[in-house]
Structure 1
Amino acid sequence: MIAAQHMKPFQFFPMLFPPALLFTSYANLQGFKTDTAGLSAAWSGLYLLLAARRRQPFMKKFGVRGVVRGATMSLALVNMIGGGLAYTLGKREEEEE
C-alpha cells in the first residue's frame, strides 16, 4: 500500500520503506522470527511517524487517496504494536537451548 501511494508521482523517501518491509518478510521466512518482528515494528513506526507529519484537508480524507492513506497508516500502527509485542515477549531459539 505504501508503494501504491507514493509511486505516482514518485516520491523517493517514502519508497525506501517497501524494500525494507519486504526484507523483513524474507528474513522472517528464513527463521529469524523475533528479530524481524522488531525490525518490522521499527520500520512501520517510522513510516507512521513520517506519514502523520503531513496534514491533509478534511474533505480529502474521504476520497480514494484519503481512504488508502488511512488504511496504510492503520496497518502500520497494527504492525508496529504487534511486532513490538512479538519482539518484546518473543524468545530466541539460541536462548532456549
Structure 2
Amino acid sequence: MVAEDKNVQEARKGALAIAQDWGKSPLPPTLLATLITALHARPLQKLPFAFTPVLLFSTYLNLNNFVIDSAGLTAAWSGLYLLLARRRRTAGVNFSARFGNRFGARGLTRGAAMLLAGANVVGCGTTYALGRRSKEERVV
C-alpha cells in the first residue's frame, strides 16, 4: 500500500512537471499564433487576428528569460481565444454541413487551435501559478 501511494505521488509530480515544462517552452504560443493566423487572416477577422501579436510577444518574453511572465501572458490570452473560438453558430444549418465544417481542413485547424489553447491554459497557468521568479530577478 505504501508503494502504491508513492507511485501515485510520482505520477502527480510527473503531471505537474510535464505541465510546467509545457509552460516554460516558447513553442506553444508560437504554434497557436500560427494557427490563429491561418484561420483568421483570410478573410481578415480583426478581433481574433489581434491575438497573434500578443502571443508572439509572449514568445519574445520567453526567449529573453522572462519565463514566468510569459507563461502568465500566454495562459491568459489562450484562455480568451478559447472563449472567443467557442462562439460558433450552427443553428439552422443541416447535419451534413455541420459535419463537413467540423471535419474539413478549416474545422480540423480550428479544433487544433482550440486544443492547443486549452493545453496552453493548463500548462502555462500551472507554470505561472507555481513558478518562482528568483531566476528572473537575477537577470534584471
Scaled by the length of structure 1, the TM-score of the pair is 0.92
Q: Which residue of 1 aligns with 2:55?
A: 21
Aligned residue identity for 2:75: A
Q: Tell me the CA shift for residue 54 of structure 1.
A: 1.7
Displacement over 2 Å in runs of 4+: 55-58
Q: Which residue of 1 aligns with 2:125?
A: 84
Counting only pairs closer than 5 Å after superposition, residues 7-86 of structure 1 correspond to structure 2 as 7-56=41-90, 58-59=98-99, 60-86=101-127
% same residue:
54
Q: Tell me the CA shift for residue 58 of structure 1.
A: 2.8
Q: How far does the alpha carbon of each residue in 1:45-73 deviate from its partner, in whole angstroms, 9 at most, with x for none?
A: 00000100123563110111100000000
Aligned residue identity for 2:132: K
Q: How many residues are paired up?
A: 95
Q: Tell me the CA shift for residue 41 of structure 1.
A: 0.3
Question: CA separation in 2, counterparts of 1:69 and 1:29?
Answer: 27
CA RMSD of aligned residues (A): 1.4
Task: Give unmatched runs, 5+ long, in structure 2.
Answer: 1-34, 91-96
Task: Give unmatched runs, 5+ long, in structure 1.
Answer: none
Q: Tell me the CA shift for residue 16 of structure 1.
A: 0.5
